[in-house]
Amino acid sequence: MISRILKPLPGSILLFGPRASGKTTFVRHHYPKNLFEVNLLDHETFLRYARRPQQFKEDVLFKLKHEHISHCFVDEIQKLPGLLDVVQDLIQSSACVFVLSGSSARKLRRSGVNLLAGRALQYHLFPFVYAEIPDAFDLNTVLQFGSLPPVHVAPTLAHKIKILQTYVETYLKEEIQAEGLVRNLGGFGRFLEVAAGQCGDILVYQNVGQACQVEAKTVQGYYEILQDTLIGLRHEPWRKSLKKRLVAHAKFYLFDTGVTNALNHRLTDVIDPQTRGRLFEQLMILECYRQLNYLGSEARLFYWRTEHGAEVDLIIEKHGAIRAAIEFKSVPELRPRDFYGLKSFALEHPEVPRYLVYTGTQAYQATHAQVWPYKLYLETIPTLL
């Protein structure tokens, strides 16, 4: 059992995370063995409580009295949002602690239900981060296959490939079609491939729409679906003015490099240097977002870009001050042009610590930045946040 960084506080919680991020395994390991488990992916269980939500309350009270349970675990709570009202009633009227997991908050919000504000703390679980698998972390493997738990522990490359291919197909079928999130499943399928191909690019809805043959407004909605189902995240540009931040274009990253490659049909291909660079940037930024969430830090993450094209991949801001500017290069040896973005950034912000993260093994001080091997960066992320 791989220990996870996430350590929820005592009490009832809502645990969100992408499918296959290990939510069920985490709950079974972290909470008492005599859990009352309710899996809403099970058709009979779903129908039992969909027809009569009060039955859920009666079942919990029976388990409390006769089987002496202390915790109730409801898996995929977004399948039946109406149960949240029953859960809130039970939190107030009984001693039961509830652990509710889900892979999407979209349906919950759209159903108009309250998310147990003040009654249950919200947490997120992600694919493995470096700190959870340091001895088993192989950069080439993670760049190609990601770090979803079932992929990480798969015994062979063939198993990893099949799991990821199935994951993409299942996501289309279960998360999108079954939830009725989109009407044009074909258009959304084309969009997913385009979004994966442009992962990490500056986001222009019109360009994506033209590539997948749907309207720009529809594309915007598709990206919102990816965010709400925890399949991707927006990486906003940094500007001094909040108003300027709101009008500038964000970048978008899918939540896992393996899923990105599965959508791009390159799980069995040798990764070319340009693609490797994009995946390396994606992985390093995802690690920072995941750690930020686990730490509960008030830091915020951005990228920086000038109108002349100079760019820095990651800006860490906390309490109104920039704490670090970080550039990622998937090369073992650095060239002067690799420092171009950080050099330009230093002209405006000479006081901000600057780092260039690469795949070499030596840390040293260069003229325009501190140079860090990627493992040093991965180990140091918590101190930057």
**pLDDT tens-digit series, residues 132-161:** 999 999 999 999 999 999 999 999 999 999
Task: State how far the Cα of 291 lies from the Cα of 130, in Å rounded to an integer.
Answer: 10
Q: State residue 235's pLDDT score.
A: 96
User: Does residue 246 surpass a pLDDT of 80?
Assistant: no
3-class SS at 330?
A: coil
Quickly tell me which residue has 């001080």 as its tokens.
365
93-107, 155-169, 312-326, 362-376: which range is least confident on average?
93-107
Question: pLDDT over 70 for what percent of the chain?
Answer: 92
Asked if 334 contacts 297 with a C-beta cutoff of 8 angstroms, the reply is no
Question: pLDDT over 90 for what percent of the chain?
Answer: 76
3-class SS at 66?
A: helix
Task: State how far the Cα of 27 lies from the Cα of 22, in Å rounded to an integer.
Answer: 9
Q: State residue 109's pLDDT score.
A: 66
Residue 376 is inside which H or E element, if any?
Answer: helix 374-384
Q: State residue 302's pLDDT score.
A: 97
Arithmetic mean of pLDDT, 50-76: 95
Give per-residue pLDDT as tens, 269-278.
889 999 999 9
In the DSSP assignment, the letter for residue 2 is P
Arithmetic mean of pLDDT, 93-99: 95
Split at pLDDT 50, 70, 90, the class of 101 is: very high
Q: State residue 351's pLDDT score.
A: 96
Split at pLDDT 50, 70, 90, the class of 244 is: low
Split at pLDDT 50, 70, 90, the class of 345 is: very high
Tokens of 13: 């919680």
* pTM greater than the 0.85 cutoff: yes
Single-letter residue type at 5: I
| Angle at CA of residue 306, ends 300 and 308, nearest 5° | 160
Asked if 232 contacts 250 with a C-beta cutoff of 8 angstroms, the reply is no
The whole-chain average pLDDT of the chain stands at 91
Tokens of 196: 């994966």
Give per-residue pLDDT as tens, 299-315.
999 999 988 889 999 99
| Angle at CA of residue 108, ends 28 and 205, nearest 5° | 110
Query: Domains of the chain (ranges plus CATH)?
Result: 13-124 (3.40.50.300), 130-270 (1.10.10), 297-384 (3.40.1350)
Q: State residue 28's pLDDT score.
A: 94
User: Does residue 245 surpass a pLDDT of 60?
Assistant: no
Give per-residue pLDDT as tens, 159-190.
999 999 999 988 776 667 665 566 777 788 88
Give per-residue pLDDT as tens, 44-57.
999 999 999 999 99
Q: State residue 354's pLDDT score.
A: 98
3-class SS at 108?
A: helix
